[in-house]
Structure 1
Amino acid sequence: MIYQCNGCKRTTFETACPWCTSSELSPSPELSSRHLTPIDPSFYPDFQYRSKGLLQDFFGKKKEQAQLNDLLNNVLRKYSELKQPYFINFIHTTREGGGSADGHGAPGPRMDGVYSERELFREVLIRKGFDELEELPSLLDKLLMTTAFNSEYYGFSVELSRHLKVNLADTLRSWIEEAGVSFRANLALFYYFLWENDVSFSGIQLNPQAATTAGIPLLPMQAFRNALSLCEEIHFDILVERLESQLEHFDPNQFITMYLVDAMDGFKFEDFLVEIFQTIGYDVKETKRTADQGADLFVSRFGKNMVIQAKNYSGSVGNSAVQQAISAKAFYGCDEAMVVTNSYFTRSAKELASTAAVRLVDREGLQSYLDDYNQKLIEVFQADEETA
């Protein structure tokens, strides 16, 4: 099975995130599994029998396992029936964040008359026959996280299908050229896609038992690290080739440097960000110049909508920009929020963004976007040369 770490957002085949834990400080499997979201809800540890000792296992395991299996089958059946459209549409329309403690009390009306969207959603499911949520309210958060992970994987698989080549190295190169450094977080998704779609490459042996057995990885950790090393080699070659091409074809009158960005006013900076995000593969929609509720532009990719605050500053960007992004995300019901600047963020702005899951792109991050933008111009130039 494949999991997504709720902390670092990397994907893994292990039952404890290898990126967030060290061998010296590795948490227990039960504790670490709470921080992982499986793409298949049956792989949550709640549905796995945990030993209570030799004698209790001998006399009680059969009955308890049968009860556990009944619960599992009921939950999975109802989840499958209600996944379309209830769970998926809730993920796309809710303005609430990820896992939440809201809605864990008794369902039904209260005297204060204030309810979270999650509480109302739980009541919808209970009325649709999902009775288990009355006794196990925390189960809703887990099923929502799995739904979100499935939605993310679906967008990923649509994009990856365009990069399939005749061999592994060419497929990885095509994918990494577009994905950039995100291959480090999504490499497990890559191999899960190969297994799910029965794509075979020489030298890759995926364990078929991983699909039905908890604790068995689809790809052993050492093989996964070897694959990551191969990806790093490919990425390094891409960076070297891009720099060589830039040195050969760079035209100061055509390409954008950070100094030109610094000279832009606020509106020109917003317009340029539209070009940047369109060039690197996002669908972009600008907002009005005024009364935009803290939104400068909207972008979408992989089925997720993101609102962006653009700040072309000479000084540091503080909390207010992050607060505007948070407000815009809630007001417009977006999945993500981002603040982009040609400067840097204050420490308090970084702390607020971290707690509110707002993505920050500072001067260094913007430079990487400029590099991608200029590289696309070079590729267009080279294509024109070949057809001339």
Structure 2
Amino acid sequence: MIYQCTSCRRKSFETKCPWCTNAPVQASGQPAPAALQVPLDPSFYPEFQYQTKGFLKDLLGKKKEQAQLNDLLRAVLRKYSELKKPYFANFFHTVRNVGVEPIDAETPSARENGTYSNRELFREVLIRKGFTELEELPHLLDKLLLTTGFNSAYLGFYTEISRHIKGSLREILRSWIAEAGVSYRDDLSLLFYFLWDNNIRHPEIQYADQASSAFGTPLLPWQTVKTWLDVCEQINFDILVERLATKLEFFDPNQFVTMYHVDAMNGYEFEKFLAQIFQTAGYDVEATKLSGDQGADLFVSKFGKKMVIQAKNYSGNVGNSAVQEAISAKSFYGCDDAMVVTNSYFTRSATELANAASVRLIGRRELQAYLDDHNQRIIEQFRLDGNDTEESTSQAFTGA
């Protein structure tokens, strides 16, 4: 049987989590909290397994007590199966604060504020539906809820992994890791369980088929799982190396935009460049006529507000006239805002006029900040695996 640890969330075939069992002592000097192994199948709950009471008592009473436990198990499994949908499944998916340790009283009682917990109410729903065993085993509800969640996760895994089941075991692992990344570190045992459960055999893996009926017998030895975890690490490393080599081969450094490129633009190219900036930032952009534009080079709009842009690709400082043109264009075209953008700097008087008229100025420093941000995003996108596009925004131009 396969288990999921309630602490680290990893899956294994062990009744004690091999990761958490060997976890180092915490900084406080105290051992890590005990983790609970939740089986996919409630048949493997320890409550239904005979616990030894010594040689003589085992000899006299084990058979009878195990028979009673088997009867109890059959009743629990039948009622759980009947009530799993919709009750358990819907409760698990709608109430997310289901803990591992029982926190409710065995006898329902209101809290000091007069309320009842969700689980307390849910347990009463089940008891009234005939699941009276929960009165004898009040802690069973927590485990059944966790098993319900594990089953739901396994169904999702089943769907996702099915398309990778083709070829040898290493080919399956490579296909899975290429898509799912390092999830094998948590779910490799779940993959082996899937293969065994669907009778998909590979000569490298020898299952202990008696594990399906013998409590405490792992389907695969932990050492075997560890060996294949190492194989997965090597496969993942190879995939990352191959992806980096491909990226380096096809990466185009001409994507980077520097101020040198901007300075080399003519007026029309600069306006076109600004149009791309605003489009990237999510604006609708409209260019003006090449002549008779009344001081407007671009119109950009977003969220119902329209702004006129005056573009100045200068080698010297930008003076009052550019700001005055933006003010005139704002009034002439009935825009909400006005902006002047340059690859140079503004004179002091131009800055004072812009402040008085609420015209936004984007000078060389602000433009450089955008270019730095733009180029950094190219680098970040290069580092990301599988992300073909990444939204780019500019605080300098959007004010976000």
Which band: TM-score by shorter chain? 0.5 to 0.7
1:99 counterpart = 2:100: yes
Structure 1 residue 236, shift from structure 2 partner: 0.9
Aligned equivalent of 2:184: 183
1:135 counterpart = 2:136: yes
Gaps of 5+ in 1: 26-31, 256-267, 270-288, 290-366, 378-388
8 Å CA contact retained: 2:7, 2:35:
no
For 1:92 and 1:75, the matched residues in 2 are separated by 21
Aligned equivalent of 1:372: 385
Aligned equivalent of 2:72: 71
For 1:57 and 1:103, the matched residues in 2 are separated by 34
Q: How does 1:331-346 map to 2 (within 5 A)?
A: none
Structure 1 residue 115, shift from structure 2 partner: 1.3
8 Å CA contact retained: 2:109, 2:116:
no
For 1:219 and 1:18, the matched residues in 2 are separated by 13
Aligned equivalent of 1:12: 12
Query: 2:4 aligns to what SS in structure 1?
Result: strand
Query: 1:19 aligns to what SS in structure 2?
Result: helix
- Structure 1 residues 369 and 135: CA distance shift in structure 2, 3 A: farther
1:235 counterpart = 2:248: no
Quick check: 165-174 or 64-73, which moved more?
Answer: 64-73
8 Å CA contact retained: 2:247, 2:382:
no
8 Å CA contact retained: 1:102, 1:116:
no
- Structure 1 residues 252 and 147: CA distance shift in structure 2, 3 A: farther
- Structure 1 residues 48 and 17: CA distance shift in structure 2, 3 A: same
8 Å CA contact retained: 1:2, 1:192:
yes
Gaps of 5+ in 2: 26-32, 257-280, 283-302, 304-379, 390-400
Aligned equivalent of 2:170: 169
| Counterpart amino acid of residue 173 in structure 2 | L
Aligned equivalent of 1:157: 158
| Counterpart amino acid of residue 6 in structure 2 | N
Structure 1 residue 370, shift from structure 2 partner: 5.7
Q: How does 1:83-94 map to 2 (within 5 A)?
A: 83-94=84-95
Quick check: 201-210 or 189-198, which moved more?
Answer: 201-210
- Structure 1 residues 126 and 101: CA distance shift in structure 2, 3 A: same
For 1:58 and 1:8, the matched residues in 2 are separated by 39
Q: How does 1:207-356 map to 2 (within 5 A)?
A: 207-251=208-252
- Structure 1 residues 83 and 232: CA distance shift in structure 2, 3 A: same
| Counterpart amino acid of residue 82 in structure 1 | L
- Structure 1 residues 110 and 14: CA distance shift in structure 2, 3 A: closer
Query: 1:9 aligns to what SS in structure 2?
Result: coil
Quick check: 68-77 or 111-120, which moved more?
Answer: 111-120
8 Å CA contact retained: 1:102, 1:119:
no
Identity of aligned residues (%): 59
Structure 1 residue 7, shift from structure 2 partner: 1.2
Report the TM-score when normalising by structure 2.
0.60
For 2:204 and 2:191, the matched residues in 1 are separated by 15
Query: 2:130 aligns to what SS in structure 1?
Result: coil
* Higher Cα Rg, which structure: 2
For 2:24 and 2:112, the matched residues in 1 are separated by 50
Q: Which has the higher contact order (CA 8 A, sep 6+)?
A: 1
For 1:59 and 1:238, the matched residues in 2 are separated by 59
Query: 1:201 aligns to what SS in structure 2?
Result: coil
For 1:97 and 1:56, the matched residues in 2 are separated by 38
1:60-99 Cα deviation digits (max 9, x unpaired): 2232222212211111111111112211111111142432
For 1:252 and 1:114, the matched residues in 2 are separated by 63
For 2:41 and 2:52, the matched residues in 1 are separated by 23
For 1:149 and 1:225, the matched residues in 2 are separated by 22
Aligned equivalent of 1:362: none
Aligned equivalent of 2:41: 40
For 1:220 and 1:99, the matched residues in 2 are separated by 27
- Structure 1 residues 369 and 99: CA distance shift in structure 2, 3 A: farther
For 2:91 and 2:381, the matched residues in 1 are separated by 34
Query: 1:20 aligns to what SS in structure 2?
Result: helix
| Counterpart amino acid of residue 94 in structure 2 | T
Q: State how many pairs are aligned.
A: 264
Aligned equivalent of 2:365: none
Structure 1 residue 161, shift from structure 2 partner: 0.4
Report the TM-score when normalising by structure 1.
0.62
Aligned equivalent of 1:116: 117
Query: 2:206 aligns to what SS in structure 1?
Result: coil
Structure 1 residue 192, shift from structure 2 partner: 0.5
For 2:162 and 2:86, the matched residues in 1 are separated by 25
| Counterpart amino acid of residue 107 in structure 1 | P
8 Å CA contact retained: 2:4, 2:11:
yes
8 Å CA contact retained: 2:127, 2:135:
yes
8 Å CA contact retained: 1:102, 1:118:
no
- Structure 1 residues 208 and 201: CA distance shift in structure 2, 3 A: same
1:183-226 Cα deviation digits (max 9, x unpaired): 11100000001011111223222221111111111111222122
